[in-house]
């Protein structure tokens, strides 16, 4: 069973590397095209020069940067693949103290402020009143 799990994870890792390597040139070309469009979409000359410099830097260093991020992705994918904590996908949540009745009370309080033409309320006062009315303790 353990050997099958390791084989499956290894196959997934190889697929991850393969698909990422295949898509990397397309990602570079797409990024290059978007940066090229940004060069000519600027109205001011200074913005055009800045975007042109960014385009030239990305054109010369972009492949290296993409390779470094690819290697980092591979490392984290491999390192996290065999952790036992990842088997638990469902995250347990704390039960909420907010109910439909508490939401209705908030609406009624807001309606009371609106009816009395109160234009501003301090948020802290509103929260304190809400917590006192509903016995909510943080």
For residue 21, the Cα-to-chain-centroid distance in whole angstroms is 23
Q: What is the DSSP string of 44-76?
A: SHHHHHHHHHHHHHHHHHHHHHHHHHHHHHHHH
Count: domains in the chain: 2
The pLDDT assigned to 104 comes to: 84
Residues 26 and 79 in one domain: yes
Mean pLDDT to the nearest integer, 78-85: 70
Per-residue confidence at 86, pLDDT binned at 50, 70, 90?
A: low
Domain-embedded: residue 94: no
Residues 64 and 36 in one domain: yes
- Pairwise pLDDT comparison (44 vs 29), residue with the higher score: 29
* Type and span of the H or E element at 126: helix 123-134
pLDDT(88) > 60: no
The pLDDT assigned to 84 comes to: 60
The pLDDT assigned to 91 comes to: 64
Range of the domain at 118: 100-134
Residues 6 and 51 in one domain: yes
Is pTM beyond 0.75? Reply is no
Dihedral of the CA atoms 8, 12, 17, 18 (nearest 10)? 100
> Of 89-93, 112-116, 123-127, where does mean pLDDT reach its minimum?
89-93
The closest of 106, 107, 95 to 131, measured between CA atoms, is: 106
Residues 10 and 77 in one domain: yes
Rg (C-alpha) for the chain, rounded Å, is 27
Mean pLDDT to the nearest integer, 112-123: 80
Contact 9, 81 (CB under 8 A): yes
Residues 14 and 74 in one domain: yes
């Amino acid at each position: 069973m353990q050997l099958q799990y390791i084989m499956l994870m290894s196959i997934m890792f190889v697929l991850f590397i393969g698909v990422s390597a295949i898509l990397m040139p397309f990602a570079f070309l797409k990024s290059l095209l978007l940066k090229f469009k940004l060069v000519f979409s600027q109205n001011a000359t200074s913005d055009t020069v800045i975007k042109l410099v960014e385009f030239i830097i990305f054109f010369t260093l972009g492949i290296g940067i993409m390779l470094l991020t690819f290697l980092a992705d591979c490392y984290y994918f491999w390192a996290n693949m065999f952790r036992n904590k990842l088997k638990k996908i469902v995250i347990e949540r704390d039960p909420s103290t907010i109910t439909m009745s508490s939401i209705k009370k908030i609406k009624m309080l807001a309606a009371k402020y609106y009816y009395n033409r109160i234009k501003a309320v301090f948020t802290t006062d509103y929260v304190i009143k809400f917590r006192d009315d509903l016995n909510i303790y943080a």
